[in-house]
Amino acid sequence: MAAAVGMGQQWVLVEMVQAFYEAPAYHLILEGILILWIIRLLFSKTYKLQERSDLTPKEKEELIEEWQPEPLVPPVSKDHPALNYNIVSGPPTHKITVNGKECINFASFNFLGLLDNEKVKNAAQASLKKYGVGTCGPRGFYGTFDVHLELEERLAKFMRTEEAIIYSYGFATIASAIPAYSKRGDIVFVDEAACFAIQKGLQASRSNIKLFKHNDMADLERLLKEQETEDQKNPRKARVTRRFIVVEGLYMNTGDVCPLPELIKLKYKYKVRIFLEESLSFGVLGEHGRGITEHFGINRLSGQGYCFSASLPPLLAAAAIEALNIMEDNPDIFQTLQGKCKQIHRALQGISGLKVVGESFSPALHLQLEESCGSRENDVKLLKRVVDYCMNSGIALTQARYLEKEEKCLPPPSIRVVITVEQTEQELDKAASLIKEAAQSVLN
Amino acid sequence: VLYFQKNGVSNGSLYKKPFIEHFEQAPMYVAVLTFLAFGLGSIFGYLRDFMRAWGLEKRNIATEREQQKDFVPLYQDFEDFYTRNLYMRIRDNWNRPICSVPGPQFDLMERVTNDYNWTFRFTGRTIKNVINMGSYNYLGFAETDANALKTVTKELEKYGTGICSTRQEMGTLDKHVELEKLVATFLGVEDAMVFGMGFATNSMNIPALVGKGCLILSDELNHTSLVLGARLSGATIRIFKHNNTQSLESLLKDAVVDGQPRSHRAWRKIIILVEGIYSMEGSIVRLPEIVFLKKKYKAYLYLDEAHSIGAVGATGRGVVEYFGMNPDDVDVLMGTFTKSFGAAGGYIAGKKDLVDFLRTHSHSAVYATSMCPPVAEQIIRAMKCLMGLDGTTQGLQRVRQLGKNTRYFRQRLHEMGFIIYGNDDSPVVPLLLFMPGKIGAFSRRMLEKNIGVVVVGFPATPLTESRARFCVSAAHTREMLDTVLSALDEVGDFLLLKYSRYSKAAHPELYEETRFELED
């Protein structure tokens, strides 16, 4: 067997040598040249494209020495309005002490006057005795307390939905909820006047954003139709792209409500889901304070979500449960609040130089300058003088603050007026007349 | 004694005391079995999905309402595969509700499930006095002692629970001013600013500090809040290997020499994001080397001390004190109050210019409500206790007790033969389980023995490195730790968790006498 193989090998060798002798001359010369070329390539230096890495270590050292970065933060001028902020001593309740002066509070969002409520405080005290202050962990790792579960159940029942979840920070709620549902490649239709938290949530989600004019349903329908024609061109992609509309119940920046019935019609027509942000309308609108859906008489969607970070301190959850109890037991406070809103809305009409922005039943109004005096900075200074005049006479107001460079559609400068159930009719009248006086003296 | 060091020490001369970290690799058969286990789980998952699609098995997940049947579904089937088929099986080990203060022991609400973890039902009974090895209660300030909380109770009565306004409008109380001054004194810096939520402190302030044209060098294992903040800022992000200063140096060198990609213009600024203690690894940042590099290449350093403030350092002032360095060397000191102080919220501290800038430009200062007063008071009282300003040495005692407990716990676990990751001084102790089946088994067995542990698997950790994570607390007594250790011994033998090849049990001759006391 081995001999046969040996014979076979020899025979192949003989064949090779024979072929060598029989090959034409040009073939052998070509092969010889190729072999020499390969040997040359193997031993010659390789060339790279000219790169910065050709720099010698010494040159690199010099570059490192020379480079000067910007300072970590740009200098802030000493008289920036936000650096001279108001310091409140004591609780920010109906009567508030700002910078040492006692005023009536028209600036904190304490719509139902629950900040100072004894029952709420007692519930928080009881929770403090039982649980301490912090939860020392996220929801997944022993940070879920029975108070959290109870609060979620009560909220779901109150809002008439299937389930609810709570977050520990208001800003983070919408900023985390949007990217949880809407991912890269999905489409979101947002109102222009949406607040900053929504804008950040959209940025984090990396979806395609389409802005429509504030409360303009015709504009929104136009955008939806455009999207529909796009979808028909690529039906497979359309079947997996989720679509959302994000609106606020009561807009923080303009004080008006979104037209929910029309939105629902558009939702079923174009198969879009609605995200409703109700930080201002919860506990304000509707007969029982259930928010904008009760205001318009509509049923809610169902849905579930996920929780991401450290949980809410239990004393705050207990306070919230007590607040819900109060809201359920006294449904007439909502009527009272709306009555007061209407009263002050009427009283503030007709001030020369200032116009009221917001619906008559909105508890958070804006007072904007009727005519701007050229630059935003000067407008802000002028409004500050109005605010200071009012503060000196015992009404605490504040300007609405924005991050000027970061907002997509920056609202004009304005004074924020907040109405709460605790303000009496005389106080409302006093505030209105004081603002009139201030406008007269400063703007004329 | 043999130790494995990942991320080798490049410049040992910068350290004032020995820096020892362990990251022992598992034996090969463990990795193979882990992959097999995941594969088997996936096969069963596909089988179950098939049965569900064909109606042979009940569907338990949330379904759409009738009117919305032809809307695009919110969740695609394949995105959720892992959650539906693997996570659901062991879901009962997370989100366990408690009904007492999260101190060294707590009470758990008993939960049962009749449909394999899809829904839970509370029986109404509580499991009392479960030893708590999961809550971030490093210094034991999560307590309900009336004497300790008397100032908090008073402030709650005076201020109520809410603020209803933002920092720049009507939300800055005198309490915030007091707290910020105290934080600045505690850390030894010029000024500080506090925020209502720790996660949001990162995600809202990093975009204010850096923007387009800047470079962020971020550690591989940084927390989600840092990653989110970096992404929202719009700067270029480059990742260096975990705690590896050679990787960081090469990135820095390339960045300064080459400049921005394609245009080669110089970077506006370079910022390095690191954490003090990494909560999944238990490793401590190599601060002296990073500060050395930062000074050489003129970069800025952002240090997130969420887990290390209060927990390391001779007087609890964090990693800066632990390494004996100057707080001025770190440009931005960030931390949270949720862990060592038993409250909620975060802070950023540093030079006055930095804090003034944040007061005017931070997203949180303009749009988010400020920290509520009782929580601020809890932080004030905890900090005063730590600094000794309340007239007792209780603060220092707590820090020392934590150090003792940490060293004891880690030493005993090493001796028993478990694979533990991280630095010898870090109170976060990850114990490696590796195989997915052991995650559920470990957690349930420990609960039967009345000990509550935290287990973590994919995707929070790499696929093969599932672990149980213990958080040692100053409030744990020696008896509690011994109970836990003996339980771990039993469970470790039962589940074959003692993978270490370098334990005392395996090579007793290599070990010298060890001391558990802190060296002063």
Taking CA atoms, what residue in B is nearest to A322?
B161
Among B335, B338, B447, B371, smallest CA distance to B162 is for: B371
Confidence of residue B62 (pLDDT cuts 50, 70, 90): low
User: Chain B residues with CB inside 8 Å of A181's CB?
Assistant: 74
CB contact under 8 A, A136 and B70: no
Partners of A254 in beta bridges: none
Residue in A69, A136, A197 closest to B338 by CB: A136
Window A:226-245, CB contacts with B under 8 Å: 238-243
Residue B516 has pLDDT above 50, yes or no: no
Q: What are the φ/ψ torsions at residue A367 (nearest 5 degrees)? A: -115, 110
The structure tokens listed for A157 are: 């029942």
Residue A323 has pLDDT above 50, yes or no: yes
DSSP per-residue letters across A283-308: TTSSTTS--HHHHHT-PPP-------
**pLDDT tens-place string over residues A138-185:** 888 888 888 989 998 998 888 888 778 788 777 877 777 888 788 888
Q: What span, in angstroms and rounded, lies between the C-alpha atoms of B449 and B443?
A: 10
In chain B, the percentage of residues whose pLDDT exceeds 70 is 90
Pick the more confident residue, A432 or A300: A432
Residue B5 has pLDDT above 80, yes or no: no
Confidence of residue B248 (pLDDT cuts 50, 70, 90): very high
CB contact under 8 A, A88 and B228: no
Residue in B101, B298, B367 closest to A171 by CB: B367
Confidence of residue B403 (pLDDT cuts 50, 70, 90): very high
Q: Which of B170, B173, B331, B428 to mutate to test the interface with A (most CBs of A within 10 A)?
A: B170
Q: Which of B145, B163, B168 to mutate to test the interface with A (most CBs of A within 10 A)?
A: B168
Confidence of residue B78 (pLDDT cuts 50, 70, 90): low
Check residue A176 and give its pLDDT. 79
B373-387 helix and B150-159 helix, angle to the nearest 10 degrees: 150
Window B:419-438, CB contacts with A under 8 Å: none
User: Chain B residues with CB inside 8 Å of A125's CB?
Assistant: 153, 156-157
User: Chain A residues with CB inside 8 Å of B174's CB?
Assistant: 87-90
Pick the more confident residue, B437 or B508: B437
Q: Which of B64, B137, B165 to mutate to test the interface with A (most CBs of A within 10 A)?
A: B165
Average pLDDT, chain B: 86
Partners of B429 in beta bridges: B470
Check residue B124 and give its pLDDT. 86
Average pLDDT, chain A: 83
CB contact under 8 A, B158 and A90: yes
Check residue A305 and give its pLDDT. 31
Is residue A384 less than 8 Å (CB to CB) from chain B? no
Residue in A87, A90, A145 closest to B98 by CB: A145
Among B39, B80, B43, smallest CA distance to B59 is for: B80
Rg (alpha carbons) of chain B, rounded to whole number: 24
User: Chain B residues with CB inside 8 Å of A120's CB?
Assistant: 160-161
Report, as an integer, the average pLDDT of B146-155.
Answer: 88
Residue B314 has pLDDT above 70, yes or no: yes
User: Chain B residues with CB inside 8 Å of A174's CB?
Assistant: none
Is residue B126 less than 8 Å (CB to CB) from chain A? no
Check residue B505 and give its pLDDT. 56
**pLDDT tens-place string over residues A65-120:** 888 888 888 887 777 777 777 888 888 888 888 888 888 888 888 888 888 888 99
Is residue B266 less than 8 Å (CB to CB) from chain A? yes
Amino acid, single-letter form, for residue B291: V
Residue in B169, B203, B365 closest to A398 by CB: B169
Sheet with A273-277: list strands edge to edge.
A208-212, A187-191, A243-248, A273-277
Is residue A169 less than 8 Å (CB to CB) from chain B? yes
Is residue A197 less than 8 Å (CB to CB) from chain B? yes
Confidence of residue A329 (pLDDT cuts 50, 70, 90): confident
Residue in A70, A80, A195 closest to B268 by CB: A70
CA distance B18 to chain A (A): 31
Rg (alpha carbons) of chain A, rounded to whole number: 35
Taking CA atoms, what residue in A is nearest to B455?
A141
Residue in B109, B231, B344 closest to A146 by CB: B109
Report, as an integer, the average pLDDT of A388-416.
Answer: 85
Helix (H) or strand (E) holding B22: strand B21-22
Sign of the alpha-carbon dihedral angle for A195, A199, A204, A209: positive
User: Chain A residues with CB inside 8 Å of B300's CB?
Assistant: 69, 72
CB contact under 8 A, A142 and B102: yes
Among B419, B379, B427, B374, smallest CA distance to B399 is for: B427
Could you tell me if A127 and A318 are in contact, meaning their C-beta atoms sit under 8 angstroms apart?
yes
Confidence of residue B481 (pLDDT cuts 50, 70, 90): very high
Amino acid, single-letter form, for residue B240: F
Three-point CA angle B246, B252, B254, nearest 5°: 105
Window A:353-382, CB contacts with B under 8 Å: none
Check residue B177 and give its pLDDT. 92
Residue A363 has pLDDT above 80, yes or no: yes
Taking CA atoms, what residue in B is nearest to A107?
B170
Q: What span, in angstroms and rounded, lies between the C-alpha atoms of B157 and B154?
A: 5
CB contact under 8 A, A401 and B103: no
Residue in B173, B358, B374 closest to A133 by CB: B374
Confidence of residue A271 (pLDDT cuts 50, 70, 90): confident
Q: What span, in angstroms and rounded, lies between the C-alpha atoms of B196 and B208?
A: 17
Is residue B247 less than 8 Å (CB to CB) from chain A? no
Kindly report which listed range (A246-255, B43-52, B75-84) carries the lowest average pLDDT score: B75-84
Beta strands B346-350; B191-195: pairing state: antiparallel
Cβ-Cβ contacts under 8 Å for A149 (sequence gap 6 or more): B97
CB contact under 8 A, B164 and A108: yes
**pLDDT tens-place string over residues A295-320:** 776 655 433 333 446 678 888 888 88
**pLDDT tens-place string over residues B181-207:** 999 999 999 999 999 888 888 888 999
Prediction pTM value: 0.85
CA distance B455 to chain A (A): 9
Q: Which of A51, A133, A243 to mutate to test the interface with B (most CBs of B within 10 A)?
A: A133
Report, as an integer, the average pLDDT of B495-512.
Answer: 68
CB contact under 8 A, B367 and A129: no
User: If you count residue pairs, one on A and one on B, with CB atoms under 8 Å apart, how many are there?
Assistant: 305
Window B:8-47, CB contacts with A under 8 Å: none
Is residue A159 less than 8 Å (CB to CB) from chain B? no
Confidence of residue B350 (pLDDT cuts 50, 70, 90): very high
Check residue B79 and give its pLDDT. 62
Among A109, A273, A262, A96, smallest CA distance to A195 is for: A109
DSSP per-residue letters across B312-349: SSTTS--HHHHTT--GGGSSEEEEESSSSSSS--EEEE
Could you tell me if B469 and B430 are in contact, meaning their C-beta atoms sit under 8 angstroms apart?
yes
In chain A, the percentage of residues whose pLDDT exceeds 90 is 7
**pLDDT tens-place string over residues B9-53:** 556 677 877 888 888 888 888 889 999 998 998 898 888 888 888
Q: What span, in angstroms and rounded, lies between the C-alpha atoms of B218 and B275?
A: 10
Partners of B239 in beta bridges: B218
Q: Which of B87, B101, B132, B467 to mutate to test the interface with A (most CBs of A within 10 A)?
A: B101
Report, as an integer, the average pLDDT of B253-274.
Answer: 89
CA distance B456 to chain A (A): 10
Window B:370-389, CB contacts with A under 8 Å: 372-375, 378
Is residue B128 less than 8 Å (CB to CB) from chain A? no
**pLDDT tens-place string over residues B437-476:** 899 999 999 999 999 999 988 777 888 889 999 999 999 9
Residue in B99, B143, B360 closest to A83 by CB: B360
Among B181, B189, B182, B185, smallest CA distance to B327 is for: B189
Window A:80-139, CB contacts with B under 8 Å: 80, 82-83, 85-93, 96, 98, 105, 107-110, 114-117, 120-121, 124-125, 128-137, 139
Residue A190 has pLDDT above 80, yes or no: yes
Window A:285-344, CB contacts with B under 8 Å: 301-304, 308-310, 312-313, 315-316, 319
Residue B509 has pLDDT above 60, yes or no: no
CA distance B67 to chain A (A): 8
Cβ-Cβ contacts under 8 Å for B507 (sequence gap 6 or more): none
